[in-house]
């Protein structure tokens, strides 16, 4: 199956899509450092990025320069999130960095069987409710274009009338939005993101977002009911923390239950960093596993506890954010995550190298889609496409 990756960044979602069995006909990214990261890994022969046809430029020029790919199965990408970020200026449609219109333009031109769009949780804020609906309706009816100088609210009204008309004509997509916590899918990070998945209506796909596979309750059971978490990490009983307040009922329920939890435990920072040496004692075999001094706590920026999933890594605007990119050590002190540790938290393979200085590399990682989460979503979309096409082929054979 063929895919086109937009706003590829350092390649997290694109790698997940590749692992799901799609072959990229184009990987589009304008940022110099992100492009250098992809090129560096191609030069090193990393198997997940070999053969990627990288387009280092503006997504709005891609089709003019490269042509329109035929019979495209998937368009995937995460349009720049700053217009909707909790830490940004929240300008949404008034922000020049809003690339959702460009994504819709490419979907309209390429007519993929499906698309995967990823963005920040801030997109679901009540402040953006109308614009979030507007995005979904544009993706549902990409051929109903905004007229020159038409206010976006007027365009929204036209799209709403189309939705309620009950008549489907032209290129339309069945769109499913979902707010997810990456920790619930095996990523060692409490990273909340919005996925908007669409299938072309004529495909007649029967699809729903993948079920959660991991849970906080299962982690707490492993830590404070059976103790297997501490035993796995060889933490002696005298060094194990007390159970947090407020979970006594959960512990009691778990002890009464005879069967194991149906979900796997959340993966923690400690889980993610297994095998990495202490960077304060030297980088070991990883050149990007170097200690960065200067970490400190302040109100609202207290770091990520070792035995929970990390807080969501952030890209930052003026350097590296403190609290989101720090680890709280067992003695209560803090230090910055190294590049390699941050890559582990985003589920990038250890052999994947990031190009640029520490702050620039952390920006790439803070903007990335966790590879594992991208693979899971893309795999489910691939299965939905295969199932739909199989049903259509069978129906055609019976006709």
Domain-located, residue 235: yes
Instruction: Tell whether 113 and 253 lie within a shared domain.
Output: no
Residue 93 lies in a domain: yes
State the residue for tokens 């693979």. Answer: 375
Number of domains in the chain: 2
Per-residue pLDDT at 83? 52
pLDDT value at position 372? 97
Q: Are 29 and 153 found together in one domain?
A: yes
Q: Are strands 310-311 and 189-190 parallel, antiparallel or unpaired?
A: parallel
Q: How far apart are CA 333 and CA 312, in angstroms?
A: 19
Within 13 Å, how many C-alpha atoms sit on residue 42's CB side? 15
Same domain for 202 and 255, yes or no, is no
| pLDDT band for position 96 (cuts 50, 70, 90) | low
What pLDDT score does 109 carry? 97
- Residue 79 located in a structural domain: yes
- pLDDT classification of 85: cutoffs 50, 70, 90: very low
pLDDT over 80 (residue 146):
yes
- Within 8 A by CB and 6+ apart from 365, the residues are 10, 313, 315, 339, 342, 343, 346, 348, 354
46 in a domain, yes or no? yes
Position 309 in a domain:
no
- Does 179 lie in the same domain as 76? yes
Give the burial class of 155: count Cβ atoms within 10 A of its Cβ; 0-12 exposed, 13-18 middle, 19 or more buried: middle
Residue of 156, 122, 120, 161 whose CA lies nearest to 139: 156
pLDDT in tens, 299-326: 878 899 999 999 999 886 545 555 678 9
pLDDT single digits (tens) 112-135? 999 999 998 888 888 888 999 999
Structural domain that includes position 244: 214-262
Q: Are 363 and 5 in contact (CB under 8 A)?
A: no
CATH number for the domain harbouring residue 128: 3.40.50.150
Q: pLDDT of 8-27, one tens digit each?
A: 999 999 999 999 999 999 99
Q: Strand 326-328 and strand 334-336: pairing?
A: antiparallel
pLDDT digits (tens, 9 = 90+) for 246-256: 888 888 887 77
Does 193 lie in the same domain as 96? Answer: yes
| Domain final residue pick, 230, 262, 294 | 262
pLDDT at site 39: 96
Same domain, yes or no: 23 and 48:
yes
Taking all residues of the chain, what is their mean pLDDT, rounded to a whole number? 90
Instruction: Return the pLDDT at 168.
Output: 82
Shared-domain flag, residues 148 and 253:
no
| Mean pLDDT, residues 59-72 | 94
Average pLDDT over residues 291-299: 87
| pLDDT at residue 86 greater than cutoff 70 | no
Q: Known catalytic residue: 81? A: yes
C-alpha span between 94 and 102 (Å, rounded): 15
Residues 252 and 193 in one domain: no
Structural domain contains residue 303: no
How many Cβ atoms sit within 10 Å of the Cβ of residue 386? 13
Query: Band of the pLDDT at 285, cuts 50, 70, 90?
Result: low
158 located within any domain: yes
Domain end (from 228, 262, 296): 262
DSSP 290: -
The model's confidence at residue 223, banded by pLDDT at 50, 70 and 90, is very high
Do 133 and 193 reside in the same domain of the chain?
Answer: yes
Residue 150 lies in a domain: yes
Which member of 20, 81, 159, 371 is catalytic? 81
Average pLDDT over residues 31-39: 96
Identify whether residues 21 and 166 lie together within a single domain: yes
pLDDT in tens, 329-366: 988 999 999 999 999 999 999 999 999 888 899 999 99
Is the model more confident about 283 or about 79? 79
Residues 241, 140 within the same domain: no
Q: Worst-scoring range by mean pLDDT, 1-10, 171-180, 240-249, 359-368?
A: 240-249
pLDDT at position 92 over 50? no
- Select from 243, 262, 281 the last residue of a domain: 262
Residues 155 and 236 in one domain: no
CA angle, 375 then 220 then 340, to 5°: 45
Residues 366-389 have a mean pLDDT of 96
Instruction: Using the predicted structure, report yes or no on whether residue 262 has a pLDDT greater than 70.
Output: yes
């Amino acid at each position: 199956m063929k895919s086109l990756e937009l706003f590829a960044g350092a390649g997290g979602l694109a790698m997940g899509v590749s692992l799901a069995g799609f072959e990229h006909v184009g990987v589009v990214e304008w940022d110099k450092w992100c492009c250098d990261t992809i090129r560096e890994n191609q030069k090193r022969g990393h198997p997940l990025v070999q053969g990627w046809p990288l387009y280092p430029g503006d997504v709005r020029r891609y089709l003019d320069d490269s042509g329109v790919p035929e019979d495209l199965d998937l368009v995937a990408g995460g349009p720049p999130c700053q217009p909707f970020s909790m830490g940004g200026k929240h300008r949404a449609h008034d922000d020049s960095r809003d690339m959702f219109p460009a994504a819709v333009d490419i979907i309209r031109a390429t007519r993929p069987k499906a698309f995967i769009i990823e963005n920040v949780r801030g997109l679901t804020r009540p402040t953006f409710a109308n614009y979030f609906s507007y995005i979904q309706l544009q993706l549902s009816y990409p051929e109903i274009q905004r007229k020159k100088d038409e206010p976006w609210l007027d365009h929204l009204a036209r799209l709403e009338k189309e939705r309620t008309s009950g008549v489907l004509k032209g290129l339309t997509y069945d769109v499913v939005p979902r707010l997810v916590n990456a920790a619930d899918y095996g990523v060692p990070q409490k990273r909340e993101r919005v996925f908007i998945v669409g299938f072309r209506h004529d495909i007649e796909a029967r699809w729903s977002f993948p079920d959660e596979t991991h849970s906080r309750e299962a982690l707490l059971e492993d830590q404070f009911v059976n103790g297997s978490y501490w035993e796995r990490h060889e933490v002696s009983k005298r060094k194990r923390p007390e159970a947090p307040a407020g979970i006594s009922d959960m512990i009691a329920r778990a002890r009464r239950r005879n069967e194991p939890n149906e979900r796997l435990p959340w993966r923690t920072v400690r889980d993610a960093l297994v095998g990495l040496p202490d960077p304060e004692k030297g980088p070991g075999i990883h050149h990007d596993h170097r200690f960065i001094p200067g970490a400190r706590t302040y109100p609202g920026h207290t770091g990520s506890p070792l035995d929970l999933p990390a807080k969501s890594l952030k890209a930052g605007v003026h350097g590296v954010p403190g609290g989101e990119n720090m680890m709280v050590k067992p003695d209560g002190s803090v230090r910055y995550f190294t590049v390699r540790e941050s890559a582990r938290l985003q589920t990038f393979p250890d052999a994947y190298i990031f190009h640029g200085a520490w702050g620039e590399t952390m920006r790439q990682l803070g903007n990335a889609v966790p590879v594992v989460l991208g693979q899971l979503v893309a795999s489910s979309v691939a299965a939905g496409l295969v199932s739909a096409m199989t049903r259509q082929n069978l129906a055609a054979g019976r006709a």
